Amino acid sequence: MTTDDEPELVQEAAELVRPYVITNGRDLVEDSAFSLLTLVTVAQEPPHQKPLDPEKQRLLELCAGGFLSIAEIAGHTGFPVGIVKILVFDLTEEGHLYARAPIPSAQLVERQILEEVLNGLQARFG
């Protein structure tokens, strides 16, 4: 006998199991170099290996247009950030993706230095 609640239960179970299946039950080490702002793009010369999983192929297609952050990839794919980090880690280890640290924030310059530069330019060029 079936009830109307069964399709909802199947969908909920699929959502719970799927990330575990995608990563083959692996977890990313705590000291990984990937943060939410790590930028990722496709490597210039990706290796020609065996066919990739659909999830990994989707990440490659997303990153083909240029650099995306881990957070952006998670948003586009709908995967949890931890799953995206594991997939990106795998793809960078295999040579398919290139990851780099985010561009650091600009440091503010001291006002005194700017005034000295301005004064020097005014003295030289009037």
Q: What is the pLDDT of residue 120?
A: 94
Indicate the angle between helix axes 6-22 and 81-94, nearest 10 degrees.
40
Of the two residues 72 and 107, the one the predictor is more confident about is 72
Joined together, the tokens standing for residue 2 give 């079936």
Of the two residues 96 and 13, the one the predictor is more confident about is 96
* Ranges 65-74, 100-109, 111-120: which has the least confidence: 100-109
For range 93-116, the mean pLDDT: 87
Q: Concatenated DSSP letters for 13-69?
A: HHHHHHHHHHTTT----TT-S--TT-EEEE-SS----SPPPHHHHHHHHHHTTS-EE
Of the two residues 92 and 22, the one the predictor is more confident about is 92
Tens of pLDDT, residue by residue over 56-103, are 889 999 999 889 999 999 999 888 888 889 889 889 988 999 999 887
Q: What is the pTM of this model?
A: 0.65
Instruction: Say what percent of the chain tops pLDDT 70.
Output: 76
For range 8-15, the mean pLDDT: 52
